[in-house]
Amino acid sequence: MYRFTVTTNLPASPNTVYEAWFDNDPHSEMTQSPATASTEIAGIFTAHDGYIDGINLELAAGERIHQTWRTSQFEDADPDSSIELTFK
């Protein structure tokens, strides 16, 4: 298992970034690739034109996003990857 932390400052409020993550158009603009989003726990999302799909595990508006995801290249036996975003 690999774990790492990336920290950055964005010229936007935590709520703006959080909301963009769950809005199809802004998310697609951020990644330069089609994406779909869900704002529900256990909701399904896609990114990079269907190359990535995943599930929302925990959501705290403007504060935290925790999701699992996998790509179309994962083998069935491969575990899901996980991403956790925190906003301050």
Kindly report the backbone phi and psi dihedral angles of residue 15, in degrees, each rounded to the nearest multiple of 5, phi listed first. Answer: -65, -40
pLDDT tens-digit readout, 51-66? 999 999 999 999 999 9
Q: Mind listing the pLDDT tens digit for each residue in 1-57?
A: 789 899 999 999 999 999 999 998 988 888 899 999 999 999 999 999 999 999 999
pTM exceeds 0.85, yes or no: yes
CA dihedral (52, 56, 60, 65) in degrees, to 10, reads -30
**Domain spanning 14-86 has what CATH number?**
3.30.530.20
Question: What is the pLDDT, as a whole number, of residue 27?
Answer: 86
- Residue 59 identity: L
For residue 86, name the pLDDT band (cuts at 50, 70, 90). very high
| Contact (Cβ atoms closer than 8 angstroms) between residue 13 and residue 19 | no
